[in-house]
């Protein structure tokens, strides 16, 4: 099990507290409450003083925080205290939380959730700790048998999104997290004059590393919040933000909303996009409407967030590309594992100091390490892509999302880009439907933009596809839906769409 270790995060916090300790580190976007580096360091010391109780029997600590300011401070405090922390989704139902607690071997859960957490975790042998800004106290004690020791250690334990399969347990060491955070802070040129705005959930790797840890490394300031379409630009103006950390779903919403005042747009150096593919049409629409360049990036939990990013200044970015590697190596290989040349589509692999060498899996109540990389350290990402002659990566979709129509490979993203080029479309997803002759055929689901007429939209999109796509790539059916199944960061759950399509029967 995890054991206490000297924490570099604690050293960084102490350095911030000694240097400009009274400076604000985090701001709650909605209420305006703040936390200074000195105050966060004091909270981290409080966690370290309670470490034996929090991580009894060298166990792991779950972090179930709904308030963004609590979450940002608590994840830093946990890392600084040298305990292994597992961020949990405060919106998850009790049954899912109980499964997660058991599978990760948690011995404590720290929470600010007002609901009956104790009741929801009934049957799980975990202590419940209550947290707020600068506070930490035990509220319920349920001593059970200690988790079986496995000798495994990590600073942060997360599960992959599981949008295309069963979630995997990803153990991240402190040096992997900080390697990624330093690469991001350097690439984004974060410094003491910067204020980031992160309206993303703090139980995901993006907000934790790109937001919280890169802010710590860069010595800058971060506004944490829940996304609000109506309040977004007002809060960006009030807190004088200089960059924003977004996902494509938010960018699409803001692209169709009233733009920011010119003075606000002029202060923001870039809007960062991550967590899911960003349609080129959506990117360009946002940039034209808001006057802010979009920095598209690509990452995954197994690499401690960022893998590639478009370069700064943002004027050098390439729409449609997720940029070039930052702090890692990347290659494209064929089905036999051989590197392919520029322009060829293949499997994306990554290696580097932020990449995990193994996953954890549960067997008879004990976590065991399973290799994630090959003998040379390359991790298969599960994504397909191509690299141009200048080293820019273009993603084509997930390996298991490719549609095989009579031997012809169809990449869903190519069709989705065509659909999203229509301004009346806010979101689109393409999946394969069983076909008795060709095996599979593409079908599309789209969500209309706010205020758009849905009448005749499917017919108009079919006409666009006939104009812009080869016959075998054209969707056999286009459905205008009220919404698409998606995770907390807006990533479409294609598996649910495929199940829905499969249940409707094979096309005739």
* List of residues 6+ apart from 230 with CB closer than 8 A: none
Of these ranges, 28-32, 136-140, 501-505, the one predicted with the greatest mean pLDDT is 28-32
**pLDDT for residue 230:** 95
Q: Where are the domains positioned within the chain?
A: 8-19+31-168, 174-400, 402-503
pLDDT over 60 at 144, yes or no? no
pLDDT over 80 at 504, yes or no? no
- Given a contact cutoff of 8 angstroms between Cβ atoms, the answer to whether 212 and 72 are in contact is yes
pLDDT over 60 at 217, yes or no? yes
Q: Do the domains 8-19+31-168 and 174-400 sit in the same CATH topology, yes or no? A: yes
- Its pTM stands at 0.88
Give 6's pLDDT tier (boundaries 50, 70, 90): low
**pLDDT for residue 388:** 96
What is the DSSP secondary-structure string of 487-508? -TT--B-HHHHHHHHHHT----
**pLDDT for residue 459:** 95
**pLDDT for residue 119:** 77
Q: CATH classification of 174-400, choosing from 2.40.110.10, 3.90.105.10, 3.10.20.30, 3.40.50.12780?
A: 3.40.50.12780
The pLDDT tens digits for 259-291 are 999 999 999 999 999 988 898 999 999 999 999
**pLDDT for residue 3:** 43
Distances (CA, A) of 162 to 41, 325, 381: 34, 24, 13
Helix (H, G, I), strand (E, B) or coil at 446: strand
Instruction: Give the residue, 292 or 275, on which the prediction is more confident.
Output: 292
Other CB atoms closer than 10 Å to residue 280's CB: what's the count?
Answer: 16
Instruction: Give the residue, 150 or 20, on which the prediction is more confident.
Output: 20
Other CB atoms closer than 10 Å to residue 498's CB: what's the count?
Answer: 18
**pLDDT for residue 103:** 82
**pLDDT for residue 361:** 85
Mean pLDDT of the chain: 90
The pLDDT tens digits for 36-59 are 999 999 999 999 999 888 887 677
Give 163's pLDDT tier (boundaries 50, 70, 90): very low
**pLDDT for residue 1:** 38
The pLDDT tens digits for 67-91 are 999 999 999 999 999 999 999 999 8
d(CA 291, CA 269): 10
The pLDDT tens digits for 224-244 are 999 999 999 999 999 999 999
In the chain, the percentage of residues whose pLDDT exceeds 90 is 69
pLDDT over 50 at 162, yes or no? no
**pLDDT for residue 164:** 41
Give the CATH H-level superfamily of domain 402-503. Answer: ANL, C-terminal domain (3.30.300.30)
Of 309-318, 369-378, 441-450, the range with the lowest mean pLDDT is: 309-318
Of 100-104, 338-342, 433-437, the range with the lowest mean pLDDT is: 100-104
pLDDT over 60 at 112, yes or no? yes
- 3-class SS letters over 324-388: EECCCEEEEECCCCCECCCCCCEEEEEECCCCCCEEEEEECCEEEEEECCCCCCCEEEEEEEEEC
- Please state which architecture CATH assigns to domain 8-19+31-168: 3-Layer(aba) Sandwich (3.40)
- Reported in sequence order, the residue ranges of 88-234 that DSSP labels E, i.e. its strands, are 106-111, 127-132, 135-140, 156-159, 169-172, 195-198, 221-224
The pLDDT tens digits for 371-411 are 999 999 999 999 999 999 999 999 998 888 999 898 888 99
- Given a contact cutoff of 8 angstroms between Cβ atoms, the answer to whether 73 and 35 are in contact is yes
**pLDDT for residue 114:** 81
Q: Which residue shows structure tokens 């790539």?
A: 473
pLDDT over 70 at 454, yes or no? yes
pLDDT over 80 at 4, yes or no? no
């Amino acid at each position: 099990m995890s054991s206490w270790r000297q924490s570099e995060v604690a050293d960084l916090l102490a350095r911030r507290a000694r240097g400009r300790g009274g400076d604000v580190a985090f701001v709650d976007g909605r209420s305006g409450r703040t936390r200074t580096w000195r105050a966060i360091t004091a909270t981290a010391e409080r966690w370290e003083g309670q470490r034996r109780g929090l991580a009894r029997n060298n166990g792991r600590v779950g972090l179930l925080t709904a308030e963004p300011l609590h979450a940002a401070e608590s994840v830093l405090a946990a890392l600084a205290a040298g305990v292994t922390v597992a961020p949990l989704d405060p919106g998850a139902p009790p049954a899912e939380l109980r499964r997660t607690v058991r599978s990760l071997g948690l011995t404590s859960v720290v929470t600010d959730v007002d609901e009956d957490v104790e009741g929801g975790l009934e049957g799980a042998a975990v202590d419940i700790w209550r947290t707020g800004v600068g506070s930490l106290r035990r509220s319920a004690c349920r001593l059970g048998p200690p988790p079986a020791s496995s000798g495994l250690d990590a600073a942060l334990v997360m599960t992959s999104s599981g949008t295309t399969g069963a979630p995997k347990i990803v153990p991240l060491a402190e040096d992997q997290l900080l390697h990624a955070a330093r690469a991001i802070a350097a690439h984004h040129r974060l410094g003491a004059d910067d204020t980031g705005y992160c309206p993303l959930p703090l139980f995901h790797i993006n907000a934790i590393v790109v937001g919280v840890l890169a802010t710590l490394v860069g010595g800058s300031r971060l506004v944490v919040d829940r996304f609000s379409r109506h309040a977004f630009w007002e809060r960006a103006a009030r807190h004088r933000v200089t960059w924003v950390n977004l996902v494509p779903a938010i960018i699409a919403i803001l692209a169709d909303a009233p733009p920011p005042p010119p003075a606000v747009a002029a202060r923001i150096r870039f809007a960062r996009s991550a967590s899911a593919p960003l349609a080129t049409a959506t990117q360009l629409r946002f940039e034209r409407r808001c006057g802010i360049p979009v920095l598209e990036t690509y990452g995954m939990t197994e690499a401690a967030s960022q893998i590639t990013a478009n370069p700064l200044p943002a004027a050098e970015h390439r729409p449609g590309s997720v940029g070039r590697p930052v702090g890692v190596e990347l290659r494209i290989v064929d089905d036999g594992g051989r590197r392919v040349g520029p322009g060829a589509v293949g499997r994306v692999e990554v290696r580097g100091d932020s990449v995990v060498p193994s996953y954890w899996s549960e067997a008879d109540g004990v976590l065991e390490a399973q290799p994630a990389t090959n003998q040379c350290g390359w991790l298969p990402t599960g994504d397909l892509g191509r690299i141009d002659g200048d080293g820019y990566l273009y993603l084509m979709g997930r390996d298991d999302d490719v549609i095989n129509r009579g031997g012809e490979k169809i990449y869903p993203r190519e069709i989705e880009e065509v659909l999203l080029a229509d301004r009346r479309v806010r979101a689109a997803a393409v999946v394969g439907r069983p076909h008795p002759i060709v095996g599979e055929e593409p079908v599309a689901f789209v969500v209309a933009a706010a205020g758009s007429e849905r009448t005749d939209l499917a017919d108009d999109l079919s006409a666009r596809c006939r104009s812009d796509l080869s016959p075998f790539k054209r969707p056999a059916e286009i459905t205008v839906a009220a919404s698409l199944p998606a995770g907390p960061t807006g990533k479409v759950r294609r598996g649910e769409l495929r199940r829905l399509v499969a249940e409707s029967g094979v096309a005739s």
